[in-house]
Structure 1
Amino acid sequence: MEPDPVPLPLSAFQPARDPYQVLGVASSASAAEIKAAYRALVKQHHPDAGGGDDTILALNAAWEVLGDGERRRRYDGHRGRGAVAASAASSAAAASGTGRGVRRAASRRGGQDDGLLLAWLQQVYAPIDRLLGQVINPFPAQLRELAADPYDDRLMDVFCGFLAQSQAKIEKVEALFGSLPCPASAKGFGLSLYHCLSQVKDALQELERYTMGYVDGYLHDGREMLREAKQRRSLLKQERRRLEL
């Protein structure tokens, strides 16, 4: 059983960009207004409609914060305290008449960014990778067992049990992915991880459709999606080593 992620301090939940600005809504917007703005922007900027991956990543990060009531309350509280602190820091820097404070602040931000990246890799990516592996790696053996006789009720029950367990793992993965925004320095990595998760989720849906009607097309599509997800997961593991250098 995988250990639960260690909670981060509240300051770690500060996203790289103000989610209210990303979604184009006021901080007083209702949950329904935020949801409507998010849906409209995702539809407008989806890659299939000619949008960019960076924009979708930013929209998803904003929704992860504002779409959850508890996370939004935490962010609002932190945002208010951050605005007061930023104002005080700006006044102090202007009064000093030197750039030393600014340079020190930039250095601290660089260290904080590195710390956030390491924390995100350890507490978000690492458990997600383990859970994805628990879905992707056993699939070929599960499929071989079912292939012996797909119409055997016992074999199909075993395969359906595997799909149900896999779906439960993907729900955990989605919760982990939304638990902490991906640092700006790893936005490409975060987007690739999101695509890997989406491929596995879609594959499970296709495989479940196959179990309902034995349509070979669903089985083929699900198998290919998991194969691609396996390749993407392998590339992510290589990229993680580069990020940690």
Structure 2
Amino acid sequence: MNYYEILQIKSNASSIEIKQAYRKLVKEFHPDSQHKNANHDRIIKLNAAYEVLSDEKNRQIYDQKLRQKLVKSVENRQNNTHHATSYYHHNRKQQKEDESSQFRWLKEVYLPVFNLINKIIYPLDYQIEELSADLFDDRLMLVFTNYLDNCRYQLEKARNILTSQPNPSLYAGIAANLYYGLNHIIDGIEELERFSQTYDEYYLHTGRELFNLAEEISQNASQMAQNRM
């Protein structure tokens, strides 16, 4: 509260108006007035305000300080507005960059890896069915081992893509599922290669189960991706 407000007058009040306002308020707030609004602290403030505003030179100095304070207040508000606007635009820009990064990761990492996993997993049943005609047929086994070689090629390609970009925190769960799925595929390929060398169907069964787990994990990643799109 400035001195004009304390005396309840306008900033362009005349010296007579200042004196009248001061006397009126002193009568109201003076401790000896027996008035219900008597207030010693208020009298101290009234005296300080009147002492400055009743003196022309002191009043000019005081008015100049008020103007400077007003200008500074306006500048502060403008600066605050500028900072708020800059903060908003910065955050909006960052948000757009994050959205762009997230979309790019889905397009350039998730989808290619997901498709490669499917290319590895889905042909397995057909390959096993073809091989079951005669496990000891060298030609059929060659086709099967070529499929496994292609699986390793697709697997390496998927791993390279998955590590080519940092995954956005929003999609950390999706990326984790892709990693888990690829790890199961690695183990599955090793079991299927053991089968191709030993003809022990235990390895065939284990490899197939690992591929099934990889497919389930991959589908979980797909569901998570759809929920976030």
Alignment root-mean-square deviation, CA:
2.0
Aligned position for 1:124: 109
Question: 2:140: which partner in 1?
Answer: 155
Q: State the SS of the aligned residue for 2:134.
A: coil
Matching residue's letter, 1:218? Y
Query: What is the CA-CA distance between 1:95 and the residue it aligns to?
Result: 11
Match of 1:193 among 140, 163, 178: 178
2:207 is matched with: 222
2:165 corresponds to 1:180: yes
Structure 2 distance, partners of 1:201, 1:243, is 28
SS at match of 1:180: coil
Structure 1: where are the runs of 5+ without partners? 1-93
In structure 2, the partner of 1:104 is 89
- Alpha-carbon distance in 1 for matches of 2:225, 2:170: 12
Give the whole-Å Cα distance in 2 for the aligned partners of 1:163 and 1:176: 20
8 Å contact from structure 2 (residues 141, 196) kept in 1: yes
1:85 is aligned to none
Q: Structure 1-normalised TM-score?
A: 0.57
User: What residue ranges of structure 2 are gaps of 5+ in the alignment?
Assistant: 1-78
**Higher relative contact order by CA 8 Å / sep ≥ 6: 1 or 2?**
1
Tell me how far 1:227 sits from its aligned partner. 0.8
Deviates more, 1:100-109 or 1:219-228: 100-109
User: Could you say which residue in structure 2 is the equivalent of 1:11?
Assistant: none
Q: Deviations over 1:77-115 (max 9, x none)?
A: xxxxxxxxxxxxxxxxx9998343233322222221111
The answer (yes or no) to whether the contact 2:177–2:220 under 8 Å persists in 1 is no
Deviations 1:182-241 (A, max 9, x none): 111111111011111111122111111111112333212110011111122222222222
| Per-residue CA distance 1:104-154 (angstroms, 9 max, x = gap) | 322222221111110011011111111111111111010111122211111
**Aligned pairs, number:** 151
- Between the aligned partners of 1:97 and 1:138, the Cα distance in structure 2 is 60
Q: Which amino acid in the other structure matches residue 243 of structure 1?
A: R
Q: Indicate the structure (1 or 2) with the bigger Cα radius of gyration.
A: 2
